[in-house]
Chains A and B, each alone.
Chain A
Amino acid sequence: MGAYTLLRVERGGLEPGIPGQFFMLSPPGRLLPRPMSVCLAPPGELAFLLEVVGPGTRALAALDSGAELAVFGPLGNGFRLDVGRPLLVGGGVGIAPFPYASEALGGPRAVLGFRSAAHAEAAALVPQAEVVLEPTYVTECLPGGEWDVLACGPEPMLERVRALAPTAQLAWEAPMACGYGGCYGCVVEVEGRLKRLCVDGPVLEAAA
Chain B
Amino acid sequence: MSVPILNASGCLDALAAPAVARSLDGFVTKTVTPLPRDGNPPVRIAETDVGMLNSIGLQNPGIEAFVTDHLPQLAQLAVPIWVSVGGFTAADYAETCAALDPRPEVAALELNVSCPNVEEAPESIAELVAAARAETSKPLYAKLSPAVPDIAELARAAETSGADGLSLVNTIRGLALDERTLAPRLARGAGGLSGPALKPLALAAIFACRLATDLPIVGMGGVQTGNDALELLAVGACAVSLGTVLFADPEAPARVRRELGDAAAAHGFASAADAVGAAHTARGEPALVRDQPKVSV
Docked complex: A153-208 residues within 8 A CB-CB of B = 174-188, 194, 196, 199
Interface flag for B98 (CB, 8 Å): no
Give the dominant DSSP class at A's interface: loop
Q: Taking A31-B52, A31-B244, A72-B250 as contacts, is the C-beta distance between A185 and B17 under 8 angstroms?
A: no
Contact A184 B30 (CB under 8 A): yes
Distance, CA A24 to CA B195, complexed state (A): 18
Is residue A70 contacting chain B, with contact meaning CB distance below 8 A?
Answer: yes
Tell me whether A16 is interfacial, beta carbon within 8 Å.
no
Is B247 on the interface with A (CB-CB < 8 A)? yes
**What is the interface size of chain B, counting residues whose CB is below 8 A from a CB of the partner?**
30
B16 touches A185 (CB 8 A): no
Q: Take A31-B195, A182-B11 as given contacts and tell me if A175 and B247 are in contact as well, using a CB distance cutoff of 8 Å.
A: no
Q: Which residues of chain B are near A184, meaning CB under 8 Å?
A: 10, 30, 39, 44, 56, 59
B13 touches A (CB below 8 Å): yes
Q: Which residues of B contact A26 (CB under 8 A)?
A: 248-249
| B42 touching A183, Cβ below 8 Å | no
User: Is B51 part of the contact surface with A, judged by Cβ < 8 Å?
Assistant: yes
> Which A residue's beta carbon lies closest to that of B59?
A184
Instruction: Let me know if B42 and A32 touch, CB within 8 A.
Output: no
Number of interface residues of A (CB under 8 A): 29
Cβ–Cβ contact A181 & B44, under 8 A? no
| Distance between Cα atoms of A56 and B45 in the complex (Å) | 14
Would you give the 0/1 interface string for A30-52, flagging 1 where the beta carbon is closer than 8 Å to chain B? 11110000000000000000000
Cβ contacts under 8 Å, A176 to chain B: 45
State A7–B62 Cα separation when bound (angstroms).
Answer: 43
On A, residues with C-beta under 8 Å from B are 24, 26, 30-33, 54-56, 70, 72, 174-188, 194, 196, 199
